[in-house]
Amino acid sequence: MDDHRDYWDGQAATFDDEPDHGLGDPATREAWRQLLAAHLPAPPSDVVDLGCGTGTLSVLLAEAGHRVRGTDLSPAMVERARAKATAAGLDVTVVVGDAAVPPYDETSADVVLCRHVLWALPDPAAALARWVGLLRPGGRLVLVEGRWHTGAGIGADECRALLEPHATDVRVVPLTDDVYWGGPIDDERYLLLAL
């Protein structure tokens, strides 16, 4: 785990340079805002953002009126996420922690959001069971994942199969529009919603 932490600490300074990480382009930012608004309950709701990185989605959701708690393994990422929330004048709680074993009470969230983290965990099935346990009745799990051109990642069918024991309704929304990524893609990217 220390190797992973060190790696992501080293990435923190330039992490937001990627169009889909920093959401610096207004069109990309608006696309993500609309995408999340379409799949989250109306604000305010309690959202846990696991593997929140520099807090871009945490801040986006707090701006929309949600109560957001973020967790990331990297202290450098957490520091940047806190600074981003403070600069925006938003109350977002961000802590250092392992997304696979979140530091939150069971049934304490309306939404668990996780973007591009599940595929990298040593036991995705166990992590999903924990994440579902964080949800209140009627809550939803929102995952943004993919199978990238490098071969890394997790495909939508595999992700759906891992979730089906824990959710009665699992939906996959392909994210093929260039606007989400800052340019054309040639791999599988999707949002998975579990209710």
CA distance 182 to 151: 20
pLDDT digits (tens, 9 = 90+) for 109-152: 999 999 999 999 999 999 999 999 999 999 999 999 999 989 99
User: pLDDT at position 124, please?
Assistant: 95
CATH code assigned to 2-194: 3.40.50.150
User: pLDDT at position 136, please?
Assistant: 97
pLDDT digits (tens, 9 = 90+) for 28-46: 999 999 999 999 999 999 9
Which of 7-11, 52-56, 155-159, 187-191 comes out lowest in average pLDDT? 7-11
CA distance 20 to 85: 18
Record the pTM: 0.95
Domain borders along the chain are 2-194
3-state secondary structure 43-103: CCCEEEEECCCCCHHHHHHHHCCCEEEEEECCHHHHHHHHHHHHHCCCCCEEEECCCCCCC
